[in-house]
Amino acid sequence: MVPVRLAVDVESGDFGSRTLLRGVLDARQRSHIPFSAVLCGNRAAIESELDALSGRGPGGDGLTVEHCPQTIDAGDAPARVWKTKKQSPSVRCISLQKERAVDASVSAGDTGILMGASVFLLGRDDNVARPALAAFLPTTGERPSLMLDVGANLDCRADHLVAFAYMGFDYVKRHLGIACPRVALLNIGHEPSKGTRTLGEAGERLAGACEGYCGFVEGGRVLSGDVDVVVCDGFTGNVLLKACESFHSLMESVLAKHKRLVRAVKKRMTILNPENYGAVPLLGIRGIVFKAHGSSSTEAFANALLAAVAAVHRRLPVLQTA
């Protein structure tokens, strides 16, 4: 089996390179699919950390270091970093994929920077104005629902939402094997008269064109399993996703005395735990790019890498659904 090749930004995230490098080493031990990793960041720092963690440098262990001398500052414009700081870790990851030196990229860095680099270096799929981040949500039904966007585009026009609907429809059709996924726009009510002008316009356009479109869905029905694809702007999607993720800590505190019930609920809701799914794919680009949580722990980052490896292995940007 030919190893999967990943480019990994090990200078992103909130907890430093050691946490992410531990994730790399952990993922390589756990993966059933062999993979190599190009570690993008400061060479001296990476080699020192690897030596402290494993007692050996990267050479001969399927790990190589791509020295990236530039760093991204808070004032850098996300849409231009790909051009002004080509030697920063997150941008270099995408460049390596463009050069076909690797098969996929993983970063816990800024979403806007990652999307900008992906769009301008890898390019968009046909008929896609803006790529979107997608995440699966658990439901009370037999299968999860896909929600997009969950953070790549904070402000969207009607045509962006329409494109997200088609992207989600195609993704779920391929990934879950559903002949005609049910697609809905997230709104404050299910009636056609509810919501913003943007949602109304997007709904009108989808009603006459998208095979699986079934109207609006309210926030209270997102986890009901009524629809297979939930479409929204990235601001709304990100807030809703993080609110759902917080259910884990709430559940553990409220149900602390009922351990058996906690275990049962956690098993059902495991898809929402960022420690488990690790990262979400950027859909709509000509490549495989995974965005990990900025607050990724070692376990979460390891799972992010495993998700990327699985995506390359299947030749499809696949989300782990359990």
Mean predicted confidence (pLDDT) in 60-65 = 82
Mean predicted confidence (pLDDT) in 259-270 = 65
Q: What pLDDT was estimated at residue 268?
A: 59
The better pLDDT of the pair 308, 139 is held by 308
Q: Tell me, yes or no, whether 141 and 53 share the same domain.
A: no
Q: What pLDDT was estimated at residue 80?
A: 82
Tokens of 190: 């299910």
Which residues, 6+ apart, have CB-to-CB distance to 318 below 8 Å?
175, 281, 307, 310, 311
Q: Do the domain assignments include residue 228? A: yes
Q: Tell me, yes or no, whether 152 and 71 share the same domain.
A: no
Q: What pLDDT was estimated at residue 318?
A: 44
Q: Do the domain assignments include residue 69? A: yes
* Residue range of the domain that includes 154: 132-245
Asked whether residue 52 carries a pLDDT value surpassing 50, the answer given is yes
Q: Tell me, yes or no, whether 195 and 227 share the same domain.
A: yes
Q: What pLDDT was estimated at residue 121?
A: 93
Q: Do the domain assignments include residue 119? A: yes
Q: Tell me, yes or no, whether 118 and 34 share the same domain.
A: yes
Strand ranges, E, within 88-162: 104-107, 132-137, 145-148
Q: What pLDDT was estimated at residue 319?
A: 45
Q: Tell me, yes or no, whether 213 and 283 share the same domain.
A: no
Q: Do the domain assignments include residue 251? A: no
Mean predicted confidence (pLDDT) in 8-37 = 90
Asked whether residue 252 carries a pLDDT value surpassing 80, the answer given is no
Asked whether residue 138 carries a pLDDT value surpassing 60, the answer given is yes
- Residue 23 · residue 300 · CB < 8 Å: yes
Q: Is 247 exposed, middle or buried (0-12, 13-18, 19+ CB in 10 A)?
A: middle
- Residue 170 · residue 147 · CB < 8 Å: no
Q: Tell me, yes or no, whether 103 and 60 share the same domain.
A: yes
Total count of domains within the chain: 2
Q: What pLDDT was estimated at residue 126?
A: 82
Q: Tell me, yes or no, whether 111 and 10 share the same domain.
A: yes
Strand pairing category for 289-292 and 279-283: antiparallel
Domain final residue, candidates 204, 224, 245: 245
Mean predicted confidence (pLDDT) in 124-129 = 84
Q: Tell me, yes or no, whether 153 and 82 share the same domain.
A: no
Asked whether residue 245 carries a pLDDT value surpassing 80, the answer given is no
Q: Do the domain assignments include residue 264? A: no
Domain final residue, candidates 230, 245, 260: 245
**Poorest-confidence range of 148-157, 270-279, 297-306?**
270-279
Asked whether residue 148 carries a pLDDT value surpassing 70, the answer given is yes
Look at phi and psi of residue 242 and say left if phi exceeds 0, alpha if psi is from -120 to 50, else beta: alpha
Cα separation, 196 vs 90, in Å, equals 36
What percent of the chain shows pLDDT beyond 70?
A: 87
What percent of the chain shows pLDDT beyond 90?
A: 46
Q: Tell me, yes or no, whether 75 and 172 share the same domain.
A: no
Q: What pLDDT was estimated at residue 196?
A: 92
- CATH number, domain of 102, equals 3.40.718.10
Residue 14's pLDDT band, with cuts at 50, 70 and 90, is confident
Q: Which residue, among 116, 117, 64, 110, has the nearest Cα to 92 in the 3D structure?
A: 117
Q: Tell me, yes or no, whether 304 and 236 share the same domain.
A: no
pLDDT digits (tens, 9 = 90+) for 175-231: 778 999 999 999 999 888 888 999 999 999 999 888 899 999 998 888 888 899 999
Q: Do the domain assignments include residue 253? A: no
Mean predicted confidence (pLDDT) in 159-173 = 92
Q: Do the domain assignments include residue 189? A: yes
Mean predicted confidence (pLDDT) in 259-274 = 62
Mean predicted confidence (pLDDT) in 94-114 = 93
Q: What pLDDT was estimated at residue 24?
A: 93
Q: Do the domain assignments include residue 255? A: no
Q: Tell me, yes or no, whether 221 and 288 share the same domain.
A: no
- Write down the pTM of the prediction: 0.83
